[in-house]
Structure 1
Amino acid sequence: MALLEEVRSGLQAIELPLALPGAESARREAAAAAVQLDDYILPRYRSLDAPLLAVVGGSTGAGKSTLVNALVGHPVTRAGAIRPTTRQPILLHHPAEGSWFEGQRVLPGLSRIRGSLDSARLPGGDIPAEETAATSLILLADPAVPGGVAILDAPDVDSISDENRRLAGQLLAAADLWIFVTTANRYADAVPWKLLLDAASRDVMVAVVLDRVPPGAEEEVSADLRGLLDREGLGGAQLFIVHETSLGPAGMLQPEAVQPLRAWLEDLAADAVGRSDVARRTLNGAVRALAERVAGVAGALEQQQSAAGSLERDAVAAYGDAVRRITEATRDGALLRGEVLARWQDFVGTGEFFRALEQNVGRFRDRLGAFFRGEPAPAVKVEAAIETGLQAVILDEAATAAEETDQRWRSDPAGRSLLGTDDLSGTSPGFADRAAAEIRDWQAGLMELIRTEGQGKRTQARWLSFGVNGLGAALMIVVFSMTAGLTGLEIGIAGGTAVVGQRLLEAVFGEDAVRRMAATARQDLAVRCRRLLDEEQQKFLVRLPAADPAAAGALTAQSAALARLGGAA
């Protein structure tokens, strides 16, 4: 019982949201398996001694309701030419056995409506229309029903009503035995045979009623039907013949027309051991079928997890490549082109830099002049140029990663369904501002690194006319000055001036300290870029379904355990 409860909980938690081939079918299978656990398997395990539930099913117009009326000897269900006739399922039981069905023991999803035989009208005639939906079940106590067996008149399996077809399948899945009604001219129809094959796979006891057999055709038609049953693994099914005949008053068959079927039901009802065997046989078959369903759902779940993992890897790879390209751009000298190179040359070439190295003059004069002219210090211009250039690199690589991820996902049906009509091929709103803020924070951290490192070297640092900002600009250039990305004259300019900055830093802090500060700054920048792009890739990853990596394996193990349980005697 604990295993069945675990399986039920597992099936109810299953979600297969990705648009993969077979996903919709697997979702239906999971839902149907959970319903059958509630409707039949769990109730039967809890009450092996409960009356058998015989469900009367079949095609439209096969005569199910007429047959049920004949079995009890008076009208209890609607029979007529209007389809669907069985608008609502009616469960007939012996008066002493009402307690088995009045609660939610079986078919807990259907509400109960108590019918009565006190009037000449059919049960349910006084029930308000809103209560006669296909979500309820009419219970009717009738002494004509033998104790030990209840009879349920189900809707047509091929009804024009989708709801009726669904309900018919649900009721048949909750049956201990099927009384399947077909006619002499429709016994080979595809829909009934699909359900009969399902019965064979579950080892359900089946009685087939061949209705409206014309005079003289019994031997030929019944032989052909018996051959079909044998070929499809239903050779053990009981076969009953109802000849074509005119109906009596109130649309009733003559009692003798269904006497063999009624006698068979009465014998089964009177045999407690036989009823127990039927219940166990059907239950074991249902559990084995459940094992196959659970295995199929586990396979579908594995496919979902594999597809989600592939989509995740696509996004992570695209953004990981972007981070590597950004890191490469910050190490190979590429950022020292253009505006950054010009501002660095301004800083170094105006004479401020070299004057500061040669003599202790000019610091206050130059700063005071810049203040009155309203110009930012040259070192600050270097910082601003680096911020602009680095931001451009980050934005470009983030957009490239987004476009690549969007293309990869749209080439996959699962990814395409997750994206829908949303365009994620560019950077997210506000990403540029976040990148700029991250760069400024990195620069601020670099300045703090210089202050911390220079605390013991205030004598040397005091006479530097460009102060912390100048040292910070020099350190940023050193961080970006691995000149593999530069060519020709650029190497001489950027590389040469970077060496000047490095020499200054080494004079102030020492060679080891400069190497350490540059490595720390590079690592900090790499971490910040990785964090930025990790956050940016979330716009894709948040669309992936949450997955329990152990769920598929747990279902597979449960399927094997169910198979063993279903094989028990």
Structure 2
Amino acid sequence: MRRVNTQAPDVLQAVRSVRDFVADTSLPVDVAPDARAIVNQLDDYVLPRLANLDAPLLAVIGGSTGSGKSTLVNALLRERVSNPGVIRPTTRQPVLVANPADTEWFNSPHVLPGLTRSHGAGNEQSTTLRVVDTQSVPEGLALLDAPDFDSIDDQNRALASQLLAAADLWIFVTTPARYADQLVWNFLNDAAGRGIEVVVVLNRLDEKAAETVPDDLRRMMNDAGLTDATVFTVPFVADLGGENTSEFLGDELVAPLRDYLTTLADDTVARRDVAGKTVAGAVQSALSRVDALVVRRERQEAFANQLDESIHEFYTAANRQVIDATSDGQLLRSEVMDRWQDVIGTSDVFRGFERWFSSAVDKVGSFFTGQPAPLREVETEIESGLHAVIVDAAETAAARAWSHTGAVAPELRGGADPALARASADISEQAAKLVRDWQAALVDRIQGTAGDKRQRARIMSFGLNVVTVALMLTVFASTAGLTGGEVAIAGGSAVLGQKLLETIFGEDTVRRMVADARADLNERLGELFAAERDRYHVFTDPLLDGASAEQIREASDEARRAVDAKLLGVVDKQAPTRIDDTSTEESFNNGTLRGLFDQLRGTFGKGPDNV
């Protein structure tokens, strides 16, 4: 009994999630090309193939410059569909040859969506994909003559790699002179790692080379893990296309390879097996490469977080600098306290509080009768002192943040605004506004706390400005760091401000008012320095764009589970052909992809091995 597995589309969605995470995530410069290659392969091959295992197979013919790929394609089809060349690079434009019944699939965005299609003779220098339809190719299989993978043109080499990554079947064409080249084996070793179906064509094999090269090639393939790969040989033909020879290789020379491809195209089960094996290997290969990206992403995140924490600490220190400066009596020294003593008459402080209180009222009263009084000077001194401390702390933090960024990651400063070496251009205005807003909040707090008529009357008798200044001085009245006479001047004078407030509100209320005022100031300072600090996210935010390493890892793990759980049933040759039709009754004994590949080896013939 067979039923539709409604969960099977999870395979497609799981792989697409990995693709989207990798595509949209900032990665280190040195691994970005690999990330793009992964995305290209998933777009060009994996996702379309997962969506439809019964779509026509794509056999990509790749090889070294001058290995005879185009000549081989033309000979297989007995048509001149690809232009052989003698000038490097010999193959400039990829040519895809398909049966007319299959061209709709290969012209669709499902296959190599990043390549523009052309259908005429084309521009030989173009990187568009030229699609040729011909009855010479059987339905179910297309041939793609790819640019040389050792091309002197960087763009051609990249395109060749992209096309090979989009293949269901690799047909490698090499020669006795080039079969041992490292570039050839880079691709063949990749094929072995992916478990892709590989056919190797040893082309232009002369009699002398035939004595040793085929055996040596097979030995190298066995060592690389390609023991099951099929090898065809094509003899050397002198003066091919000359005046007295055909432009095509003899039909009998390419017939074994043509028969192999035709048999594969005609066998639906065999095609599905090749597609299933190749796509499973491609997914596993891509996910392994994603694992390497995750490691680099983790390092990038760690660096960005460390940089962010360092800059954050500079601004935390700036915040502490202001808090310390407003908590150890520094703002109460010199002119500030001199002016305050003039306001309240502190010479009488030690003669008894009641006598001081009466004198203080007289002194304050003179302020309102137009007599010279320094109250405004006290306010100005406090405002300017607090303002200067804030600006200085912001400038110091900016200089340290800029210097640190240049020391640990100078490349991040390449496009950054040099103004980041300083505090914001309007830091002075911001600091002045902070002080004004805090003072306004003090006034509101005083008025809101004066609940009864007696308290309001006392505030009126002193004047709201005097009470506000007294509250500011009390907030700043810690004697930490003060010694000797400074304690008597700063500490003693500030005590009188506190006593004035207690006369109006009571000791407990004043304690709460001071604590609230200090907390309010600290919060405002924190917001200002946080805004200053956020300017440096221009360095760290790009490093953290997109999915986190943990999100990518989880998506990759989910894709592995989906492939293991669902794709095994999909490539079961007895199962329906769509990805959403899987057998729930039949399964392989070996639950790993490697076991799957081993069983698939016996599902169709490999074709003649002429070695």
Say whether the fold is shared (TM-score over 0.5). yes
Alpha carbons of structure 1 residues 97 and 498: separation in structure 2 relative to 1, 3 Å:
closer
Determine which of 529, 545, 548 is the counterpart of 1:533.
529
Alpha carbons of structure 1 residues 511 and 103: separation in structure 2 relative to 1, 3 Å:
closer
Q: Please give the secondary structure, in 2, of the residue aligned with 1:485.
A: coil
| Residue of structure 1 in register with 2:296 after alignment | 300
Determine which of 122, 126, 131 is the counterpart of 1:133.
126
Q: Does residue 257 of structure 2 align to residue 265 of structure 1? A: no
1:57–1:179 CA contact under 8 A, matched in 2? yes
Q: Does residue 10 of structure 2 align to residue 2 of structure 1? A: yes
2-structure distance, mates of 1:260, 1:454: 104
Alpha carbons of structure 1 residues 357 and 549: separation in structure 2 relative to 1, 3 Å:
farther
1-structure distance, mates of 2:360, 2:525: 40
Determine which of 549, 553, 557 is the counterpart of 1:552.
549
Q: Does residue 363 of structure 2 align to residue 358 of structure 1? A: no
Alpha carbons of structure 1 residues 548 and 459: separation in structure 2 relative to 1, 3 Å:
closer
Q: Does residue 399 of structure 2 align to residue 394 of structure 1? A: no
Alpha carbons of structure 1 residues 342 and 421: separation in structure 2 relative to 1, 3 Å:
same
Q: Does residue 51 of structure 2 align to residue 50 of structure 1? A: no
Aligned AA (2:49): R
* Equivalences for residues 338-417 of structure 1 within 5 A: 338-349=334-345, 357-358=358-359, 361=362, 366-370=367-371, 377-413=373-409, 416-417=412-413
Determine which of 39, 42, 55 is the counterpart of 1:37.
42
Of the structure 1 ranges 201-210 and 410-419, higher mean CA displacement relative to structure 2 is found in 410-419
Q: CA deviation at 1:540?
A: 0.9
Q: CA deviation at 1:403?
A: 2.6
| Residue of structure 1 in register with 2:182 after alignment | 190
1:418–1:543 CA contact under 8 A, matched in 2? no
Alpha carbons of structure 1 residues 441 and 558: separation in structure 2 relative to 1, 3 Å:
closer
Q: Does residue 100 of structure 2 align to residue 103 of structure 1? A: no
Aligned AA (1:269): A
Deviation readout 1:342-399 (Å, 9 max, x if unpaired) = 33234345989988623865666554444xxxx6x41221111011111121122222
Determine which of 188, 210, 213 is the counterpart of 2:205.
213
Q: CA deviation at 1:157?
A: 0.8
Deviation readout 1:2-54 (Å, 9 max, x if unpaired) = 34334334433544546xxxx23432233222222222112222222223211
Alpha carbons of structure 1 residues 459 and 330: separation in structure 2 relative to 1, 3 Å:
closer
Q: CA deviation at 1:142?
A: 2.2
1:84–1:156 CA contact under 8 A, matched in 2? yes
Which TM-score applies when normalising by structure 1? 0.88
Aligned AA (2:550): G
Alpha carbons of structure 1 residues 209 and 424: separation in structure 2 relative to 1, 3 Å:
same
Q: Does residue 158 of structure 2 align to residue 166 of structure 1? A: yes
| Residue of structure 1 in register with 2:433 after alignment | 437
1:461–1:508 CA contact under 8 A, matched in 2? no
1:315–1:541 CA contact under 8 A, matched in 2? no
Determine which of 227, 231, 241 is the counterpart of 1:235.
227
| Residue of structure 2 in register with 1:120 after alignment | none
2-structure distance, mates of 1:362, 1:305: 63
Deviation readout 1:273-320 (Å, 9 max, x if unpaired) = 322222221111111112212323333333333222222222222212
2:21–2:547 CA contact under 8 A, matched in 1? no
Q: Please give the secondary structure, in 1, of the residue aligned with 2:211.
A: helix
Alpha carbons of structure 1 residues 237 and 10: separation in structure 2 relative to 1, 3 Å:
closer
Deviation readout 1:456-490 (Å, 9 max, x if unpaired) = 25478459764111122222211111101212211
Q: Please give the secondary structure, in 1, of the residue aligned with 2:208.
A: coil
2-structure distance, mates of 1:472, 1:94: 90
Aligned AA (1:560): D
- How many aligned positions are there? 547
1:54–1:178 CA contact under 8 A, matched in 2? yes
| Residue of structure 1 in register with 2:273 after alignment | 277
Determine which of 159, 176, 180 is the counterpart of 2:172.
180
2:95–2:132 CA contact under 8 A, matched in 1? yes
Q: Please give the secondary structure, in 2, of the residue aligned with 1:216.
A: helix
1:356–1:464 CA contact under 8 A, matched in 2? no
2-structure distance, mates of 1:550, 1:91: 36
Of the structure 1 ranges 433-442 and 448-457, higher mean CA displacement relative to structure 2 is found in 448-457
Q: CA deviation at 1:418?
A: 7.3
Aligned AA (1:8): R
Q: CA deviation at 1:87?
A: 2.5
Q: Please give the secondary structure, in 2, of the residue aligned with 1:53.
A: strand
Deviation readout 1:67-108 (Å, 9 max, x if unpaired) = 111111232211121222322222222334333323233222
Q: Please give the secondary structure, in 2, of the residue aligned with 1:134.
A: coil
Determine which of 9, 13, 19 is the counterpart of 1:11.
19
| Residue of structure 2 in register with 1:520 after alignment | 516
Ranked by relative contact order (alpha carbons within 8 Å, sequence separation 6 or more), the top structure is 2
Alpha carbons of structure 1 residues 158 and 339: separation in structure 2 relative to 1, 3 Å:
farther
Of the structure 1 ranges 515-524 and 558-567, higher mean CA displacement relative to structure 2 is found in 558-567
Q: Does residue 316 of structure 2 align to residue 323 of structure 1? A: no
Q: Does residue 498 of structure 2 align to residue 502 of structure 1? A: yes
Q: Does residue 488 of structure 2 align to residue 492 of structure 1? A: yes
1-structure distance, mates of 2:375, 2:498: 15
| Residue of structure 1 in register with 2:479 after alignment | 483
2-structure distance, mates of 1:378, 1:565: 79
Of the structure 1 ranges 497-506 and 57-66, higher mean CA displacement relative to structure 2 is found in 497-506
| Residue of structure 2 in register with 1:117 after alignment | none
Q: CA deviation at 1:197?
A: 1.4
Deviation readout 1:139-171 (Å, 9 max, x if unpaired) = 222222233321111111122222222221111
Alpha carbons of structure 1 residues 324 and 516: separation in structure 2 relative to 1, 3 Å:
same
Alpha carbons of structure 1 residues 149 and 358: separation in structure 2 relative to 1, 3 Å:
closer
Aligned AA (2:468): G
Aligned AA (2:10): A
Q: Please give the secondary structure, in 1, of the residue aligned with 2:540.
A: coil
Aligned AA (1:202): R
Gaps spanning 5+ residues in structure 1: where? 115-123
Aligned AA (2:285): A
| Residue of structure 1 in register with 2:67 after alignment | 62
1-structure distance, mates of 2:62, 2:331: 78
2:459–2:504 CA contact under 8 A, matched in 1? no
Gaps spanning 5+ residues in structure 2: where? 1-8, 350-354, 569-595, 597-611
Q: Does residue 85 of structure 2 align to residue 93 of structure 1? A: no
Among the aligned pairs, what percent are the same residue? 45
| Residue of structure 2 in register with 1:254 after alignment | 250
1-structure distance, mates of 2:388, 2:551: 48
Of the structure 1 ranges 7-16 and 512-521, higher mean CA displacement relative to structure 2 is found in 7-16
Which TM-score applies when normalising by structure 2? 0.82
2:60–2:170 CA contact under 8 A, matched in 1? yes
| Residue of structure 2 in register with 1:119 after alignment | none
Q: CA deviation at 1:250?
A: 6.0
Q: CA deviation at 1:550?
A: 6.8
